[in-house]
C-alpha cells in the first residue's frame, strides 16, 4: 500500500499557476529577446491571467459560496487559497504594467513604434482622431444612460466598457448623473494612424483614448465630468449536468451564451478612476475590494497581441524558420501509406512540419482503397483543412467517424459547428463518453490492400490544429503496427459503442489503465533501485498534480532512483527536500515555443522504455478523461525521442528554470559554460533555413 504524505509536502495548484506566469513575464523582461516578442509575452501573461480568473479563481469563489471546506492535497482551504491568490495576483499585475510603461513602451518608441496619448496629440492628430471617431466609432456605439427605465446593462465578459459621469439635463429633462458606454467587439482596440499624421513609422492610438476624447459627442448638451474604462472578468465554467441531459449538444448550445454573463470574479479599472466610481462598480458586480485591480494603462493588454502582426519589422521578431520534413517523406507527393508500411514515422513539431498529417488525411480522403477514417477532435480551430478533408471523404462515400469533444474549453462553439457540418454529409459524429472528456489524439485509416483490410494510425501528444502545430512542441507517430492499431481501434469502439473495456496490447488508457501503469512503472524503478541496480525516470509534461503519482515519485527518490522532471506549468511536487525528494530535480523550460510534449522515460533495467501521451499527470487526465499513452517500439525512434524530447532539455542552460522545494524558480544562466538552448538547437537540427521552400 502506498505511503500517505502530509499536506505540507504538496504545493498549491493556484499559487503554482501564478508562479508559472511570473516565468512568462520574465521573458517580457528579458532584453535579449526581440522587442516585439517581449510585447507578445506581456500579452500572453494577460491572456493566461484571464483564464486563471475565469476558471481557477471562479472555482475557488464557487467553493466558498457553497460553504465547502474541501481542501486539495496541499491542505489549503478555498478561502485560504483565494487570499494568497489575490495578494500575489496584485503584485504580478503591478509588475506587468510597470514593465509595460517604463520599459516596453519607451523601447518601442525608440524603434519608431509609438502609442500616441491623447494629452500629446497635435492639431493634425486631433483632427484625424475626431474624423475617425465620427466615421468609424460613433455609428456603432450605444450609450446607456442609467435611470429607473435603464438599469445597469449586462456587461459582457472581458469587454471594454466606460462609466461616464455627467452633469445637466437631457432632452427629456432627466437629470441622470451616469451612463455606461460599451465598446463593441467589432472595433479594434489599437488603431494605426497614417505616418504622415502620426509623425512616426508606426503610430497607434488606443480606442480608449479616442472614446475618452470624444465621449461628449454621445451626450449632446450635457457636461462630461469624468470617463473611466473598466473591464469585468466572469466565471466561465459551463454548468451542464451531463448525467441529466438527453442531448448534450443542444444543452451546450443553450448554455454557451450564458458563459459571457457568469458571476463576476474580477474588476479592472484605470488608475485614474475615482474611489466613488470604483465602489459603485464593485457593488454593482457584487465584488470585494480585494477583487479590484487598478492598472496604469489599457485594461486589456491581450488586445495588443496584434501589434507585432501590424508592424513589418522582422529585426524585432524571432527569426523565421521553415519546418523540416523527415527524409522518408521529402519526395514530392510521397505515398504516405507506402512510407508507413516501411516503418514507423515520428514527427517532432514545430521543428518538423505538420503537413504530413494533413497529407495523410487528404490522401486517405481521396484514395479509392480507403474504406473508413476515424478521428478524435479536441481542438482543431475555426478553419481546418483536416475537417474539410473528412467532410470530403464522407461525401465520397467513405465511412467517416469523428469523436468530437463538445466540452473542449473555449472551443465548444467551433466544435459544435464542425459536428453539424460533418453530420450534414453523412459522417458518424459521436460526443464521447458522458462524464469523461475525450482528450486522446488519435486518427485511424482503414484501407483495402491485396484483398485484405489494413489499419494505419496516427497518435499524437498535441491537437489536430495546424496553427498551434507551428507554436507548440509536440510529437506525432505514424504506424501500421498491428497490435497498436488494434489498441486504437478498441479505444474508438469504446467511444462509439457500449461494452466492457478490454485489455490493450501496448496503449495505456485513461480512465482504465494509465494511472496504474504509470504507478507500476515508477514502482518498478523503485524496486530496481532497492535491488542495487541503476534506476532512472525522466518525464516531461505540462502539469504534475496527482497526489498518488507524486507520492510514488517521493518513494522512488527515497530508494535512490534518479528522477528528472521537466514540467512547463504547475507542479505540486517539492523537489530536493531532505528526507523526501533529494533525488528529484524539477525544471521548467519557457521559450519561443510553448512546451506541450508529454514524454515519459523509464530505464527499466536497460530496456529504456519511452512513452508519448496526450495526458499530463493530473487527476483529471487519469480519472475524468479519455487519454492514451503509447510506446515507441522502434529503437531508432525511441533514441530520437529520448534525445530530442528529454536529454536536450536537461542540458538547457538558457531557457530553463530550476525549481526549489518551496515552489520558487531560479533562471539557470551559465557563468562560464557556453549557452545551450534546447529549442534553438532543435531548430538547427530539424528545421530548414527560411530560404528553402516551405513544405
Show which residues are catalytic. 439
Can you tell me whether residue 45 is helix, strand or coil? helix
CB 658 within 8 A of CB 668: yes
Alpha carbons 60 and 79: distance in angstroms, whole number: 7
CA-to-CA distance for 291 and 264, rounded, in angstroms?
9
All cell numbers assigned to 141:
456605439
User: How many CB atoms neighbour CB 170 within 10 A?
Assistant: 16
Q: Which of 609, 620, 644 is nearest to 436 (CA)?
A: 620
Helices (H) and strands (E) in the chain, counts: 22, 27
Please compute, for residue 68, the number of CA atoms within 13 A of its CA located in the half-sphere on the CB side.
Answer: 11
Q: How far apart are CA 485 and CA 428, in angstroms?
A: 20
DSSP state of 353: -
State the Cα–Cα distance between residues 92 and 271, nearest whole angstrom. Answer: 16
- The grid coordinates listed for 369 are 482503397
Which letter, b or e, does each residue of 105-124 get, where b requires 16 or more Cβ atoms within 10 Å of its Cβ? beebeebebbbbebeebeee
User: Which is nearest to 23 in space by CA: 39, 37, 41?
Assistant: 41
User: Residue 466, by phi and psi: left (phi above 0), alpha (psi -120 to 50) or beta?
Assistant: alpha
Would you list the DSSP string of 555-587?
HHHHHT-EEEEEESS-B-B-TT-TTT-TTEEEE
Cis peptide before 350 (omega within 30 of 0): yes
Cβ atoms of residues 569 and 17 within 8 Å: yes
Cis bond before residue 95 (omega within 30° of 0): no
Cβ atoms of 645 and 347 within 8 Å: the answer is: no
> What is the grid cell recorded at 112?
519608431
Rounded Cα distance, 638 and 664, in Å: 33
Single out the residue of 539, 507, 510, 514 nearest to residue 525, CA to CA: 539
CA distance 535 to 238: 44
Which of 587, 591, 550 lies closest to 683, judged by CA? 591
Contact assessment for residue 177 and residue 166, using Cβ atoms and an 8 Å cutoff: yes
Beta carbons of 580 and 554 less than 8 angstroms apart: yes
Dihedral over alpha carbons 67, 70, 72, 77 (to 10 degrees): 50
From residue 346, alpha-carbon distances to 84, 351, 506, 646 in Å are 44, 12, 17, 15
Of residues 5, 2, 3, 1, the one with CA closest to residue 74: 5
Residue 485: phi and psi, rounded to 5, are: -65, -40
Cell numbers for 300: 486589456
Q: Cβ distance 45 to 28 under 8 Å?
A: yes
- Provide the CA 281 distance to its chain's centre, in angstroms: 30
**Residue 274 grid coordinates:** 475615482
Amino acid at each position: 500500500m502506498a505511503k500517505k504524505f502530509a499536506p505540507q509536502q504538496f504545493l498549491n495548484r493556484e499559487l503554482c499557476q501564478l508562479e508559472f506566469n511570473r516565468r512568462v513575464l520574465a521573458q517580457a523582461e528579458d532584453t535579449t529577446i526581440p522587442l516585439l516578442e517581449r510585447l507578445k509575452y506581456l500579452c500572453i501573461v494577460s491572456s493566461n491571467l484571464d483564464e486563471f480568473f475565469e476558471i481557477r479563481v471562479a472555482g475557488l469563489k464557487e467553493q466558498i459560496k457553497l460553504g465547502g471546506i474541501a481542501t486539495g492535497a496541499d491542505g489549503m482551504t478555498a478561502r485560504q487559497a483565494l487570499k494568497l491568490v489575490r495578494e500575489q495576483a496584485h503584485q504580478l499585475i503591478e509588475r506587468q504594467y510597470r514593465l509595460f510603461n517604463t520599459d516596453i513602451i519607451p523601447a518601442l518608441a525608440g524603434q519608431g513604434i509609438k502609442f500616441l496619448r491623447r494629452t500629446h496629440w497635435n492639431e493634425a492628430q486631433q483632427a484625424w482622431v475626431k474624423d475617425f471617431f465620427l466615421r468609424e466609432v460613433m455609428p456603432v456605439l450605444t450609450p446607456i444612460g442609467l435611470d429607473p427605465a435603464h438599469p445597469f446593462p449586462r456587461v459582457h465578459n472581458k469587454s471594454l466598457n466606460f462609466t461616464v459621469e455627467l452633469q445637466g439635463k437631457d432632452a427629456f429633462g432627466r437629470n441622470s448623473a451616469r451612463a455606461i458606454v460599451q465598446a463593441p467587439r467589432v472595433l479594434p482596440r489599437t488603431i494605426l494612424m497614417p505616418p504622415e499624421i502620426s509623425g512616426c513609422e508606426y503610430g497607434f492610438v488606443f480606442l480608449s483614448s479616442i472614446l475618452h476624447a470624444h465621449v461628449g459627442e454621445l451626450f449632446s448638451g450635457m457636461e462630461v465630468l469624468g470617463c473611466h474604462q473598466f473591464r469585468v472578468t466572469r466565471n466561465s465554467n459551463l454548468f451542464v449536468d451531463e448525467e441529466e441531459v438527453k442531448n448534450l449538444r443542444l444543452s451546450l448550445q443553450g448554455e454557451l451564451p450564458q458563459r459571457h454573463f457568469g458571476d463576476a470574479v474580477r474588476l479592472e479599472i484605470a488608475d485614474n478612476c475615482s474611489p466613488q466610481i470604483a465602489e459603485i462598480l464593485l457593488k454593482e458586480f457584487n465584488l470585494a475590494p480585494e477583487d479590484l485591480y487598478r492598472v496604469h494603462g489599457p485594461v486589456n493588454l491581450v488586445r495588443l497581441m496584434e501589434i507585432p502582426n501590424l508592424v513589418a519589422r522582422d529585426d524585432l521578431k524571432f527569426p523565421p524558420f521553415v519546418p523540416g520534413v523527415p527524409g522518408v517523406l521529402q519526395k514530392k507527393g510521397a505515398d504516405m501509406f507506402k512510407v508507413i508500411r516501411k516503418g514507423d514515422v515520428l514527427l517532432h513539431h514545430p521543428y518538423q512540419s505538420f503537413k504530413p498529417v494533413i497529407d495523410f488525411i487528404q490522401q486517405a480522403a481521396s484514395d479509392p482503397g480507403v474504406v473508413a477514417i476515424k478521428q478524435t477532435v479536441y481542438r482543431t480551430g475555426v478553419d481546418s483543412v483536416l475537417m474539410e478533408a473528412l467532410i470530403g471523404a464522407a461525401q465520397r462515400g467513405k465511412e467517416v467517424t469523428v469523436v468530437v469533444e463538445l466540452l473542449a474549453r473555449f472551443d465548444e462553439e467551433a466544435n459544435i459547428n464542425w459536428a453539424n457540418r460533418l453530420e450534414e454529409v453523412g459522417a458518424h459524429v459521436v460526443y464521447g463518453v458522458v462524464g469523461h472528456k475525450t482528450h486522446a489524439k488519435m486518427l485511424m485509416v482503414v484501407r483495402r490492400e491485396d484483398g485484405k483490410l489494413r489499419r494505419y494510425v496516427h497518435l499524437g501528444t498535441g491537437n489536430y490544429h495546424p496553427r498551434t502545430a507551428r507554436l507548440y512542441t509536440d510529437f506525432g507517430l505514424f504506424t501500421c503496427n498491428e497490435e497498436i492499431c488494434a489498441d486504437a481501434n478498441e479505444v474508438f469502439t469504446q467511444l462509439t459503442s457500449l461494452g466492457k473495456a478490454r485489455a490493450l496490447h501496448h496503449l495505456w488508457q485513461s480512465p482504465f489503465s494509465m494511472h496504474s501503469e504509470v504507478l507500476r512503472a515508477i514502482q518498478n524503478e523503485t524496486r530496481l533501485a532497492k535491488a542495487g541496480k541503476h534506476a532512472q525516470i525522466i518525464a516531461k509534461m505540462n502539469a504534475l498534480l496527482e497526489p498518488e503519482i507524486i507520492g510514488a515519485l517521493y518513494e522512488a527518490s527515497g530508494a535512490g532512483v534518479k528522477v528528472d522532471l521537466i514540467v512547463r506549468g504547475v507542479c505540486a511536487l517539492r523537489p530536493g527536500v531532505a528526507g523526501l525528494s533529494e533525488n528529484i530535480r524539477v525544471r521548467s523550460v519557457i521559450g519561443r515555443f510553448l512546451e506541450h510534449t508529454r514524454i515519459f522515460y523509464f530505464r527499466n533495467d536497460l530496456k529504456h522504455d519511452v512513452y508519448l501521451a496526450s495526458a499530463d499527470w493530473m487527476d483529471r487526465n487519469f480519472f475524468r478523461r479519455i487519454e492514451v499513452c503509447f510506446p515507441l517500439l522502434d529503437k531508432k525512434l525511441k533514441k530520437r525521442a529520448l534525445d530530442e524530447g528529454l536529454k536536450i532539455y536537461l542540458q538547457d542552460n538558457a531557457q530553463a528554470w530550476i525549481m526549489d522545494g518551496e515552489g520558487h524558480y531560479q533562471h539557470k544562466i551559465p557563468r562560464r559554460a557556453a549557452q545551450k538552448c534546447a529549442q534553438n538547437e532543435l531548430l538547427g537540427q530539424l528545421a530548414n533555413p527560411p530560404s528553402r521552400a516551405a513544405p
